[in-house]
Amino acid sequence: MKIAAIVQARMNSTRLPGKVLQEVLGKPLLRYQLERVKESAFISDLIVATSVSAADDPIAALCQSLGVNFYRGSESDVLERYYEAALQSGADIVVRLTGDCPLHDPGIIDQVIQAYLDSPASCDYVSNTLQRTFPRGLDTEVFSIDALTKAHAEAFEETDREHVTPYIYRHPDSFEILQLTNRQDWSRYRLTVDTPEDFQLIRLILEALCPSNPLFGMEDILQLLDQNKDWSRLNSHIEQKKW
Q: Tell me the per-residue pLDDT of 187-239, one tens digit each, with 9 for 90 and over.
A: 999 999 999 999 999 999 999 999 999 999 999 999 999 999 999 999 999 87
Confidence of residue 241 (pLDDT cuts 50, 70, 90): low
Yes or no: say if 166 and 160 are a contact pair by the CB < 8 Å rule. yes
The DSSP H or E segment spanning 28 is strand 27-28
Q: What percent of the chain has pLDDT over 90?
A: 94
What do you get for the CA distance between the two ends of the chain, in Å? 33
Yes or no: say if 199 and 43 are a contact pair by the CB < 8 Å rule. no
Q: Tell me the per-residue pLDDT of 36-52, one tens digit each, with 9 for 90 and over.
A: 999 999 999 999 999 99
Task: Give the residue from 7, 28, 30, 210 showing the smallest Cα distance to 102.
Answer: 30
What whole-number distance in Å separates Cα of residue 92 and Cα of residue 146? 8
Alpha helical stretches, state H, the chain: 29-37, 57-66, 78-89, 106-118, 145-154, 158-163, 166-169, 196-209, 218-227
Q: Tell me the per-residue pLDDT of 57-93, one tens digit each, with 9 for 90 and over.
A: 999 999 999 999 999 999 999 999 999 999 999 999 9
pLDDT of residue 189: 97
Average pLDDT, the chain: 96
What whole-number distance in Å separates Cα of residue 221 and Cα of residue 203? 12
What whole-number distance in Å separates Cα of residue 43 and Cα of residue 5? 6
Claim: this prediction has a pTM higher than 0.75: yes
**What domains, with CATH codes, occur in the chain?**
3-188 (3.90.550.10)
Confidence of residue 242 (pLDDT cuts 50, 70, 90): low
